Each structure stands twice: as C-alpha cells, then as structure tokens.
Chains A and B, each alone.
Chain A
C-alpha cells in the first residue's frame, strides 16, 4: 500500500512524458511541411546568435520593463527546474527532500528558489497588470481576441498558481519542521515562505501535512499539464526560441532570396545561343511543376513554419510596423499567427486522413489577404524588433511573389510600374535614352 503514491506518480510522469513526446513529433512533422532550406552553414555564428538572443536575451531589454521582468521569469523558470528534479525523484522514490544531505548548499538552493519564485510571482502579476489594467496597446490589437488573448492570460495564471503552490508547500513544510514531524527533516531555508508560515501555525500536524502534500501534488501535476499545454500555446517559445535563433537568417536584412529557378530561366532567355523554338522540358512523371512564391504553407520554407510556432505574440513587431501604426490591415504578428493556424489546420487534416487531403483552403485569402500583403513597405522594422529573429517579411514577400507571378494580381499601379521597367528600364514612363539629360539641364 505504501507504494501507491510512487506508482501514481510514475504513471503521471510517464503519461506527461509520452504525450509531450507525441506533440514534439507532430511539431517536427509540421515544421517539415515547409520546403527544404539549408541552414546548416556558419555554425559558429549560429551558436553565437543563439547564445546572445535566446540564452542571453540580449534583444529583450530593448524594452526595459518588459525585458527585465521577462529575464526574471526566464531565470526563475530555469533555476526552479532544479527543484522540479528533486520533486520528481522524491515522487518516484517516496523520499522527502532527497537533496537535503547537501546541507548548507541545499539551504542555499532552496532559499534561492524561494526568492526567485517570489520574483517570478511578482513579475507575472506585473505582466497581468500591463495586459489587463494598463491595456498596453500591443496586447489589444485586433488579432489579440478569443484564444490569443485567453492563452496569454492562462499562462500568467498558471505561473501565478505554480509559484504560489511552491511557496505554500514550503510554508507548510517549515511549520512541520518546527513541530518535528516525522519525515520532515530539518532542511532548507525559507526566506519567503517563513512569512507565510505564521498563517498556518495554528493548524494541526495532520492539516499541515494535508496542505503540504496537496501543494506538492498540485504543483507537480500543474507542471506536467503546463508542459503539455505548450504545444497548443504561444508559450512554445520557451523551447523553440533556441532552434529559431540558431537557424535564423544571417544575411544582411536587405538581401532577399533570389529564386534559383528564375535564374535558370532568365539565363536561358539571355543566352544568344539558346534555341528560341526549343520546347520546355516536360516535367517528369508525377513531378509537380515548380510554383513561384507561396500561396500555402507547403510553399514556404521550414524556417517560416518554425518562426510561426516560435512566435509568442508579444506584438513588438506590430507596434513598430509603419503600416500598422497608420491603421492599415497589416500586422506582422497576425501574419505569423495565421501561418501557424493554417499549419495546425493542415496538421490536423493529416492526422485525420493519413496524408493531406485537399481542403479547398490555403494560406492566401483564407487566412492572409492581399490587402495585408500589399501594405508592407519591406522596411524590416518587424524583423529588427523581434527579440528572437522571426521574419514576417520573408513570408509576406513570398506571398507577393505568388500573387504577381502566378496570378498577375498586383495592384494596377504596380503593374504599370513593372511595365515601365520592362519597356524603358525605369519605373516611370521616361525614355531610357533620356537618362543622362540631367547633366545638361
């Protein structure tokens, strides 16, 4: 009988682990729905990028208040995980505070966890106030409705509850230690929860144990749930920020990709030896002819999809987007959110049908409208602003390419501009022969 808690714990742990692994597998499959792109070069720069941006959070403090509070939560999250290791071992082995033989070191660790937990709790409350009371505009853009809004709040509530349970557990433990209760070895220092302890001091030993055990179980079950909530949430960034910064674009921001297929075609056209009457090569059996640009997530590359899953919807990009600031439909954050929504839809389609079954939908029009795409000035403000180097611009440009090259659906004025370039080598209707007239004017 005495092993029942251990067995229950082991089952819960296994379930959490298996479910999480399943979601990770799905995540990787979905990211690979995008086209191949080689980002395995320049390894040292990539490691540096990841160390600076994801691990070091160097771009977060560009907005000092949010940045510093975020670092507190992040450091707290990582360090408090050492405590989770102890909790898991205790859970499996039926021990209590298995690391306590570390003595002074243990006291120092628990003390640190407590202070961090308190700071995390404080930061998360400030985050909540910023969202709900101060109503900072970037949290209230039009895409931040229903799930997007609730998701953000659930995460904050989750963290508040987890930290409170941790402190409550220690407060009860502290009281039990004072009472010299069995099992409750004198260990740990409680710089925060000692102030909560007096609230529990009148309770019987039994009640204290009940509180301590409940808090312990709820805390760890909460962590298991949170772990598996990630896949469905914007909070996935806590994991994906690392690969995302590692695989981020390292070129100058102004450099847009040159389409290799177009290069081949243009070279042929400009080659004086090319046979003008040659028939284009027949595509091999079953081969889909290459499409220009992107109308659905399959046409994007895998880093675009990784970007979409990594986005935590902080809205820094949208808050600096010149189009969005001036009231246009475009919001770079919404581009990322819609891309993720479509990827998820395709993923579910594959889950149900085994492979993707045409659903008469695509990213273009059903999610992202041409109006949004045409409002972009390609100024790179969103790319610069993203703390973890997500590029909404890359998706926008690929979709514009599809609109123009596959559908000839550019705004009329742009068609005129392009006709001018084709005919007279300038976006305006001037004769190329007049190019040097300025010299004598």
Chain B
C-alpha cells in the first residue's frame, strides 16, 4: 500500500492532486481503518496522485462544535487550516461525512477554502473519468440497502453519488421507507457517538437497524464510519450478523475488484 504524506511529497518537490483527509475514526477506529485501507487501495489502483497529512492531521473539530465547544472547534479548525494552507492544498477528499461537512462548510470563513469531496463523490468522478471500473463481482444481484449519513445527505444534499456507485455494483438496491431527505439518523451525530444516550425507551441505532433489517438485505451499505459503527452494533443487537453485513461503499468497490 502506497500512502505518501504531504511532508514526503513536499520534500520531493511534488504536489499531489488531492489530499486524503483520513479523519480520527479512519485513523484509529479498527473498523473504520478497514474503510481507509479499502479507499487507499482503490486510489493506488487508479494511480491517483494523493497524499495524507499523517501525524500532522488533527481532529476537524466537528464533535467539539456539535457538543457546544466553539472555542475548541475553532482552535482545531485554524490549526488545521494553517497546515493545509502551508501545503497549498486545493482539493480534499474524505471518507467521513462529518469532516467533509465541517471542512467544506465551516472552514472557508476561517480561511480554509478548498474543494471538498466525500469519497463516494470522488469515486464517482473517477468512474466518470474512466480511471476506475466498477462491476458487481460477488455483489451482483445481492439485496442491499443504503443508509444515508445525515451529514452527507440532509446536511449537504448528496444522495445520488453513493447510489450510483451501488448501481454500478449491480446490486439490487432496496430503499428503506425513511431514506434520502427522510433518512433516519443512526444516532451518532451531534457528538452522541461519544456519550451514552439520554433516558428513553430505545436506542436510535436499534430503531434504524430494525428498519433496515425488515428489508432482509445481505448488506447495509453506508458512507460514514460512525454510521458504520452504529449499524454494526445494531445488527449485533438484533443477532443478525450471519445474514447481514454492514459495509462502506469503498469497501464494496475494493472487494468487487479483488483489491
């Protein structure tokens, strides 16, 4: 796996086309690391000129801001922006809708203006440019439902890129009743990922997973490491691991191409 850092690239006097913003989950969470690697494999395979910040990357500040700590958020944002601007980054791709949203929408006012893409959008563009081919492989004809991450869907109106990739995977895409603009949150947003839920009669991820499982899908596809965790936990809670898998679209594309 070839994962150059911005520092290495700079030392060689090179400027990558795109910065891959890995994010905290993608860097540290065992499940999300698999998504990161799958995405890198696709990038390598397509000979995309990219780099990561590596140890110079730090939390985008999204959970701090959503938890109400504006000060910590802006500290994080401005430190990151300083580094990104020092490397003259123009284009950023990330597999985390939370980083995607924050960098795309909240960084510009603080001096960080970049073209920001979610990895499903980026993969779609690679596909359109003919840099990658996607075919069904083992997923062909399988029943799959897509869970819309809130920060990709409602927050930024990206609904089609992930679905178009799924269509290329030749799956049988079945939609949950609450999809796209009506999508139900997995329960992790707004910094909920890092705390227990308030008193209630059900966990949100269970509510959402039940809805997905009603369709009896082979796979619940997502595009967010936090949704992935929540849905995976939900599937476990419903004892359905044997029938249903939770996968990121990048993982599916990498698997389908035997990467």
Contacts and interface: CB of A to CB of B under 8 A. Distances in A.
Interface string B158-184: 000000000000000000001001111
Most B Cβ at <10 Å: residue of A254, A256, A426: A254
Contacts of A253: 154-156
Interface string A392-419: 0000010011111100001101101110
Contact of A328 (B79, B105, B109, B197): B197
Interface residues on A, range: 35 or more
A292 B190 contact: no
Contacts of A414: 67, 191, 194-195
B72 A422 contact: yes
B69 interface: yes
B151 interface: yes
Interface string B1-15: 101010000000000
A433 interface: yes
Contacts of A422: 72, 75
Given A253-B155, A410-B67, A323 B198 contact: yes
Interface in B1-47: 1, 3, 5, 22, 24, 26-29, 33, 36-37
Interface in A235-286: 251-256, 258-259, 262-263, 265-267, 269-270
B209 interface: no
Contacts, number: 222
A203 to B, nearest CB: 55
Contacts of A435: 22, 27-28, 54-55, 57
Interface stretch (B129-137, B200-208, B235-243, B246-254): B200-208
A328 B199 contact: yes
B63 A384 contact: no
A322 interface: yes
Contacts of A397: 66, 68
A252 B156 contact: yes
B65 interface: yes
A87 interface: no
B84 interface: no
Contact of A377 (B58, B181, B189, B201): B189
B188 A404 contact: no
Contacts of B202: 325-327
A439 B28 contact: no
Given A254-B151, A438-B33, A430 B200 contact: no
Nearest to A263: B74
B110 interface: yes
Given A436-B55, A439-B1, A266 B71 contact: yes
B185 interface: yes
A269 B203 CA distance: 41
Contacts of A329: 198-200
A327 B201 contact: yes
Interface stretch (A15-23, A336-344, A368-376): A368-376
Given A436-B5, A438-B36, A439-B3, A325 B199 contact: no
Most A Cβ at <10 Å: residue of B67, B71, B101, B189: B67
Contacts of A411: 195-196
Contacts of B204: 322-323, 325-326, 377
Contacts of B33: 438, 441
A270 B183 CA distance: 40
Contacts of A140: none
Contacts of A417: 63-64, 67, 191, 194-195
Interface of A: 251-256, 258-259, 262-263, 265-267, 269-270, 292-293, 320, 322-323, 325-330, 371, 374-381, 383-384, 397, 400-405, 410-411, 413-414, 416-418, 421-422, 425-428, 430, 432-439, 441
Interface of B: 1, 3, 5, 22, 24, 26-29, 33, 36-37, 52, 54-55, 57-59, 61, 63-72, 74-76, 78-79, 82, 101, 104-106, 109-110, 150-151, 154-157, 178, 181-185, 187-204, 207-208
9 contacts: A323-B204, A328-B198, A328-B200, A410-B67, A411-B196, A414-B194, A417-B194, A428-B29, A430-B27
The 4 closest A-B pairs by CB, nearest first: A254-B155, A378-B190, A425-B58, A327-B201
